[in-house]
Amino acid sequence: MSWLQVLRVAVRALLRNKMRSFLTTLGVIIGVSAVIAMVAIGEGAKARVEESFASMGSNLLVVLSGTTTASGAHGGFGSMPTLTWDDLKAIRSEASAVRYASPQLRSTQQVISDDQNWATSINGVSPEYFPMRSWSAAMGSLITQSDIEAGSKVVVLGQTVVDKLYGSNADPTGHSVRIMKIPFQIIGVLARKGQSATGQDYDDAVFVPYTTFRAKIQGGLQKFIAGSIMVGAASGDATVRAQSQITNLLRDRHHIALGADDDFSIRNLAEMANAQQEGVKTLTTLLASIAAVSLIVGGIGIMNIMLVSVTERTREIGIRMAVGARPRDVLSQFLVEALALSSAGGIIGILLGLLAANRLAANFGWPILIRYDIIAIAVGFSGLVGVVFGLYPAQKASRLDPIDALRYE
């Protein structure tokens, strides 16, 4: 008997009990669609995390000042400036794994245009800050080295600030805003970057030359940096090397004895990204395994119905054996039936899973990512479920004694 013929016989047998076949398949349908939808959600979340870390900038390290210890109470990192402007220069010139380094001085101030105002974070940075965070100008230009040297009163606005002060899609370059009563000329607007992984709006910020920041916005100690140093490593692999180079350099420069604590700290944003991705991965695995369990439950449903079917059709099996069906023929017939049930469930499950993922994306704004390899695995697995759970009933059928089977009422 050809396989096509076996399949035809199986499909006909299944169509005789349409409702039952459908209900049996439902288990697998739910299993497969759950796998696909769950993995799509998990992968979508992972992709969003990756994206937000990528938008933050790649291969970033943040060097923070040390802590204060006053009367036994420890302040947090950055509470006591320990990083000097000479440290910044040294990092730029001596740490070979470092490509960019920029100070980041930060203060929250009111930014006032002709008829609007908005409180936002004012950042004093150097020109290296923008390539380090792969941030480009949407309009106008960015801060240049000559702006730094001249201490120009120029400002680059984030998109959110533009939206608040001038309305969306406006081009404010050439206009002036006042920050702490000092007029700054708007030289550019940054491209929209969106939210960070924690929901912070990157675009709600303005940038001025750090020299201007020090002179006009927040003066401080001449020697120390009243903020942090942001460092861009030369490559993804270089971040760890950059971290140790900076550590050694700063310990040396700050004359920290062997065994004593650092008076600064370095945060590796790539490591944070990895940690967060690990979390998402765990979530994806969890969702996928729940879905896989439901697929197995679906397989048990198939096994159950196939067992009922074998009992019901004992006489048919007897007839087939009497006219010359070999045990192998009976086995393959029932196996193909189970396989047809589970594969049909798999195919319907794919469609339903894709649909569910799309509805979730559309209705709840969840990011989804369809993984075609997962679809292939889910279908393969549902087929496997059919074979595994169909095998026992099929064997039971093939081992029937034709005489008993013919006599079965």
Partner 1 sequence: MGKPLIETSKVSKVYRMGDVEVHALREVSLTISEGESVAVMGPSGSGKSTLMNILGCLDRPSSGGYWLAGEEVSQLDRNALARMRNRTLGFVFQSFNLLSRTSALENVELPLLYAGVSARERHTRAREALTRVGLGERMHHHPNQMSGGQQQRVAVARALVTRPRLIVADEPTGNLDSRTSIEIMALFQELGRSGITLLLVTHESDIARYASRVVVMRDGRVQSDEQQTPLQAELGPAPAGAEVSP
Q: Which is nearer to partner 1, 139 or 330 (CB)?
A: 330
Q: How far apart are CA 10 and CA 383, in angstroms?
A: 15
Q: Specify the residue, 310 or 321, whose C-beta has the smaller distance to partner 1.
A: 321
Nearest approach, Cβ of residue 400 and partner 1 (Å) = 11
Q: Is 163 in the site for partner 1 (CB under 8 A)?
A: no
Q: CB 319 → partner 1: shortest distance, Å?
A: 5
Determine if 400 is a binding residue for partner 1 (CB under 8 A).
no
Nearest approach, Cβ of residue 16 and partner 1 (Å): 6
Please report whether residue 327 would count as binding partner 1 according to CB under 8 A: yes
- Cβ closest to partner 1, residue 252 vs residue 404: 404
5 scored as a contact of partner 1 (CB under 8 A):
yes
How many of the chain's residues bind partner 1 (CB under 8 A)?
21
Confirm or reject binding of residue 324 to partner 1 (CB under 8 A).
yes
Minimum gap (Å) between residue 6 Cβ and partner 1? 9
Three-class DSSP category at 134: coil
Which three-class secondary structure state does DSSP give residue 74?
Answer: strand
- Told to check if 333 binds partner 1 by CB under 8 A, we report no
- Return the number of the residue (324 or 365) whose C-beta is nearest partner 1: 324
d(CA 37, CA 370) in angstroms, rounded, equals 8
Q: For residue 226, state whether it binds partner 1 (rule: CB under 8 A).
A: no
Q: How many Å apart are CA 82 and CA 233, to the nearest integer?
A: 22
Q: Which residue has the tokens 């979530």?
A: 283
**Interface residue with partner 1, options 72, 108, 323, 363 (CB under 8 A):** 323
Cα–Cα distance between 17 and 331 in angstroms, integer?
20
- Does 402 engage in binding with partner 1 (CB under 8 A)? yes
51, 201, 262, 316: which one binds partner 1 (CB under 8 A): 316
Kindly list the distances between the CA atom of residue 336 and the CA atoms of 11, 20, 114, 253, 385, in Å, as whole numbers in the listed order: 9, 17, 77, 75, 12
**Residues in CB range of 252: below 8 A, 6 or more apart:** none
315 contacts partner 1 (rule: CB under 8 A): yes
Rg (CA), the chain: 33
One DSSP character per residue, 333-384 reads HHHHHHHHHHHHHHHHHHHHHHHHHHHHHHHH-------HHHHHHHHHHHHH
The reply to whether 16 sits near partner 1 by the rule CB under 8 A is: yes
User: Which tokens belong to 366?
Assistant: 């969840």
Measured from the CB of residue 387, what is the shortest distance to partner 1 in angstroms? 22
Cα of 168 vs its chain's centroid, Å:
29
Pick from 289, 305, 291: nearest CA to 389? 305
> Does 20 sit near partner 1 (CB under 8 A)?
no
Per DSSP, the three-state class of 220 is coil
Using DSSP's 3-state secondary structure scheme, residue 208 falls into strand
Residue from 112, 297, 329, 384 that binds partner 1 (CB under 8 A)?
Answer: 329
Binding site residues, partner 1, CB under 8 A: 1-2, 5, 16, 315-316, 318-329, 402-403, 406
